[in-house]
Amino acid sequence: MLYPEPIQDLVQELAKLPGIGPKTAQRLAFFLLNMPKGEAEQLAQAIIQARQRIRYCSECFNFTDADPCFICKNPARDAGWIMVVEHPKDVVAMEKTREFKGRYHVLHGAISPMEGIGPDELKIRELVTRLERVNPKEIVLATSSSLEGEATALYLARLLKPMGFKVTRIARGLPMGGDLDYTDEMTLTKALEGRQDI
Amino acid sequence: MLYPEPIQDLVQELAKLPGIGPKTAQRLAFFLLNMPKGEAEQLAQAIIQARQRIRYCSECFNFTDADPCFICKNPARDAGWIMVVEHPKDVVAMEKTREFKGRYHVLHGAISPMEGIGPDELKIRELVTRLERVNPKEIVLATSSSLEGEATALYLARLLKPMGFKVTRIARGLPMGGDLDYTDEMTLTKALEGRQDI
């Protein structure tokens, strides 16, 4: 036995988090034990509160503490412009640009036959129902440019275009600051395909 | 506003942990929100339990859930052989070797004038009281070989040797697998000074 049981438990629970191995878990556990007691309990309470108060928005399926979420209930956001993303964290990333004035739809994943995730495991049925209701003027597919993200975008395009919707895909190309020399061929191919008049 | 308030709070609390920046905090928060609810609450409970049940052993000042701790109350551990370490995590590291059969004394830090930590901020008074009571046959100074650890070891040696105790310092030298070529001069100097007949 290396630790008293409560420390052992804490190390085990921390080690379940992504990117946290046994050594980091131990370091975090000792840090939590050395913190002022109130602060450690604030973290515990924040976890409990987040789990109790956060659920999916019934409209866009983003995380929210009120239904509909603050984006879906904001009249300044264009309800006719819908961006489809894989994860809630993608909404955060896009919001940071302050460029997108429409609303989101969070799929909670991407199609991945390898992991047994098909369209039914994602919020695609909910997307179709929503689109039929709001009849948007444009649907932007902003899934990632991984194999799974591309497959999901292709699936959605084939599903939604025959329904008469305008469907677009965010551009793939050279990232800002990117060097051609260090860019993989797939990215360069996409950058060439997506070239525009300047 | 990028997140609903409960997520914002959780990200903020997670970002207080060492080595966890805002990006990792966000990743952990979303992971906790996607976990089965019970598992997230197990982590919260583990933090609360650890803080409620863990205190210092009144003998050696290691973290413990019972007083005295499981090492101090183990009659198989030599009470006359005391290893002085900086932190509870050092006890864990030493215990993993299964080589040390004595007991510990945890200082909870090292002397560091830069950070305003003097002998009075450490469990040194408690160490002296304990040593006078148990009259050990050997005290092993196992503070780290940082500037602060060495200063602490020197301070303790100067304090305890005049009291008639046998005081030793763990060896400093080439780590196992170490290459002379890649070893700093201080370590090589210590390795040379500490050379032994083979």
Residue-wise pLDDT tens digits, B27-43 = 999 999 999 989 999 99
Pairing of strands B78-85, A55-56: unpaired
Q: Round to whole Å and give the CA distance between B161 and A22.
A: 39
Partner-chain contact A32 B47, CB within 8 Å:
yes
Within-domain flag for B86: yes
> Do A162 and A68 belong together in one domain?
yes
Domain that holds residue A14: 5-53
Do B151 and B73 lie in one domain? The reply is yes
* Contact between B156 and B133 (Cβ < 8 Å): no
Do B31 and B117 have their domain in common? no
- A138 shares a domain with A85: yes
Measure Cα distances from B1 to A10, A189, B22 in Å: 32, 37, 15
Cβ contact (<8 Å) for A10 and B46? yes
pTM: 0.80
Structure tokens at A103: 């609303």
Per CB-CB distance under 8 Å, the chain B contacts of A77 are none
Query: Does B50 contact A10 at a Cβ distance shorter than 8 Å?
Result: yes
Nearest-CA residue of chain B relative to A24? Answer: B19
Q: Are residues A164 and A130 in the same domain?
A: yes
The number of angstroms, rounded, from the C-alpha of B18 to the middle of its chain's C-alpha atoms is 16
Q: Is the pLDDT at A1 greater than 80, yes or no?
A: no
Is residue B192 in some structural domain?
no
A15 and A87 fall within a common domain: no
3-state secondary structure of B188: helix
Whether residue A108 contacts residue A87, with contact meaning beta carbons closer than 8 Å, is answered with: yes
Q: Model confidence over B47-66: pLDDT tens digits?
A: 999 999 999 999 999 999 99
Separation between Cα atoms, residue B142 and residue B171, nearest integer Å = 9
B98 burial via Cβ count (<10 Å: 0-12, 13-18, 19+): exposed
The answer to whether residue A175 scores a pLDDT higher than 80 is yes
Please name the member of B1, B43, B70 whose beta carbon is closest to the beta carbon of A13: B43
Q: How many domains does one find in chain B?
A: 2
Say if residue B25 is in the same domain as residue B72.
Answer: no
- Residues of chain A with Cβ-Cβ distance to B54 below 8 Å are 4, 6-7, 33
Say whether both B160 and B73 belong to one domain: yes
B40 and B124 part of one domain: no
What value does the mean pLDDT take over residues B96-124? 94
Q: Could you tell me the CATH number of the domain that includes residue A134?
A: 3.40.1360.10
Task: Please indicate, yes or no, whether residues A47 and A71 belong to a single structural domain of this protein.
Answer: no
List chain A residues with CB under 8 Å of B37: 51
Q: How far is B7 from chain A (nearest CA, A)?
A: 6
Residue B181 domain-assigned (yes or no): no
Please check whether residue B18 lies inside any domain of the structure: yes
Strand-strand pairing, A167-169 and B55-56: unpaired
Measure in Å the smallest separation between the Cα of A120 and chain B Cα atoms. Answer: 18
> Residue B112 has what DSSP assignment?
B
Domain assignment of residue B190, yes or no: no
On the 0-12 / 13-18 / 19+ scale of CB atoms within 10 A, A188 is middle
For A22-45, the pLDDT digits (tens) are 999 999 999 999 999 899 999 999
Q: Are B10 and B103 part of one and the same domain? A: no
Which chain B residues are Cβ-neighbours of A3 within 8 angstroms?
A: 63, 92
Verify whether the Cβ–Cβ distance A92 to B3 is below 8 Å.
yes
| AA letter at B104 | Y
Instruction: Tell me whether residue B197 is in a domain.
Output: no
CATH number at residue B40: 1.10.8.420
**Which of B1, B17, B47, B74 would you mutate first to test chain A, the one with the most A CBs within 10 A?**
B47
In sequence order, what DSSP letters do the residues of chain A get, joined into one string? --S-HHHHHHHHHHTTSTT--HHHHHHHHHHHHHS-HHHHHHHHHHHHHHHHH-EE-TTT--EESSSS-TTTT-TTSEEEEEEEESSHHHHHHHHHHT---EEEEE-SS--BGGGTB-GGGTTHHHHHHHHHHH--SEEEE---SSHHHHHHHHHHHHHHGGGT--EEE----PPTT--GGGS-HHHHHHHHHT----
Residue where one domain finishes, among candidates A34, A53, A72: A53
Residue B77 has pLDDT above 90, yes or no: yes
A88, A32: one domain: no
> Is the pLDDT confidence value at B183 over 90?
no
In 3D space, the residue among B77, B70, B75 whose CA is nearest the CA of residue B54 turns out to be B70
Q: Collect all residues of chain A within an 8 Å Cβ-Cβ radius of residue B3.
A: 63, 92
ipTM over 0.90? The verdict is no
Residue B106 has φ and ψ, to the nearest 5°, of: -100, 120
CA distance B103 to B140: 10
Residue A196 has pLDDT above 90, yes or no: no
